[in-house]
Amino acid sequence: MQIDWQALTQRAIDVLPHSYSPYSEFPVAAAAICDDGRIITGVNVENASYGLGLCAECSLVSELFRTGGGKLVAFACVDGKGEALMPCGRCRQLLYEHSAEGMLLQTISGIKTINEVLPDAFGPEDLKNK
């Protein structure tokens, strides 16, 4: 599958205004291509109780299941300036759980696979082996 990274990034930029980030004033948006070709998006949603905030990746995975499930093939995340933003460790784990084999991520240092950004990840396959 050929990925149009510019178009995928633009989809994330397009939803930035929907971020709810009044506390940090650091809006984040994400977009991903699913294995069936649909494009989904997500934004961060903060909370007055800071620990309860949701990263953009969390709302993106919720959107994945709300719109039919599947696996993520390609992923882009942007900050409030529309520049590439690396998912935090928690979100890398979340993305790994729902990634297609070899999922690609746009990172601050170029396109990488999910396995490159989360090497030796713990996932559902580990639970089956126990």
* SS3 (DSSP) at 95: helix
Query: Is residue 125 annotated as a catalytic residue, yes or no?
Result: no
Helix (H, G, I), strand (E, B) or coil at 86: coil
Quickly list DSSP for 50-67. Answer: GGG-B-HHHHHHHHHHHT
Q: How far apart are CA 16 and CA 49, in angstroms?
A: 22
The active-site residue out of 25, 57, 63, 83 is: 57
Which positions are catalytic? 57
